[in-house]
Amino acid sequence: MPPINSESSFVFLDELKQSTLEELYDKVMDLYDKDSISKEELKKFSDAITMVNQVFLKQEKANFIVRQATLADVDSLMEMIEYWAKKGQNLPRKRNDIIRGIQTFAVCVKDSQVVGCACLYVYDSGLAEIRSLGVSPVVQRQGQGRAIVNYLLKRASKMFIERVFVLTRSPEFFSKVGFQKTVIEALPEKILKDCENCPKREQCDEVAYIFNMKDHK
């Protein structure tokens, strides 16, 4: 195996990508045996491998994954969003709007089918909103909603977004997944963008919930 800092480290990385977790562990041990990495680095690597393994095991058990949406998901996204929009739980979205914003969407996939989705909309101020969250009625209460929200919160955290909010008619769910109740007046960005033109603004039946990253570090 080449030393990790040599010019061939890209070849080495390619080789690593093909490996199983067990093979990765063996390679890291090999590096340690050759004094190429320190004991602390060995611990960091093996902790990371253990963590990845736990995530895989959890997903295997749950039998679904959450991933970035692609253009191949547009029909499924349309279907899911229309379904919940007709029930008055979400706002309808136009197909071209979904396509343009595809990078903001995440999908939950089970047995090769999209069973849930949501997107993360970022405002000029850096505040973000979870929109279009919906899980197929066939698989409700099996953890998909939580997994999608967690995926988007992780994405937000990687972008250094400090607060993520939602306007919802499912307050119990959002309080279960770590959001705190707030008031719409605390979200001037949302009021300016959507509420001011909303026909329901005088009798809004949605509740605002917010997730502050700093409370979860």
Minimum distance from residue 213 beta carbon to ligand COA (Å): 19
C-alpha–C-alpha distance, residues 54 and 62, integer Å: 12
User: Of residues 31-90, which lie at the interface with ligand COA (CB under 6 A)?
Assistant: 84, 89-90
Give the C-alpha separation, 81 to 118, whole Å: 9
Of residues 120 through 159, those in contact with ligand COA by CB under 6 A are 133-135, 140-146
* By the rule CB under 6 A, 208 interacts with ligand COA: no
**Cβ-count burial 130-164 (b if 16+ within 10 Å, e if not):** bbbbbbbeebeebebbebbbebbbebbeeeebebb
Residue 182 binds ligand COA, judged by CB under 6 A:
no
Q: Does 166 help bind ligand COA (rule: CB under 6 A)?
A: yes
Residue range at the interface with ligand COA (CB under 6 A); choices 34-42, 43-51, 54-62, 172-180: 172-180
106 binds ligand COA (CB under 6 A): no
- Number of residues counted as binding ligand COA (CB under 6 A): 20
CB closer to ligand COA, 148 vs 161:
148
Nearer to ligand COA, 36 or 142 (CB): 142
- Applying CB under 6 A, among 45, 64, 105, 173 the residue interacting with ligand COA is 173
Rounded Cα distance between 173 and 165, Å, is 13
Distance from C-alpha of 123 to C-alpha of 142, rounded to nearest angstrom: 31
Residue with smaller CB distance to ligand COA, 29 or 65: 65
Task: Give 190's contacts (C-beta < 8 A, 6+ positions apart).
Answer: 123, 129, 165, 167, 184, 208
Q: Which long-range contacts does 98-103 make (Cβ < 8 Å, 24+ apart)?
A: 98/74, 99/71, 99/74, 102/69, 102/70, 102/71, 102/73, 102/74, 103/68
- Select 134 or 153, whichever has its Cβ closest to ligand COA: 134
Task: List residues binding ligand COA (CB under 6 A).
Answer: 84, 89-90, 133-135, 140-146, 166, 168-170, 172-173, 176
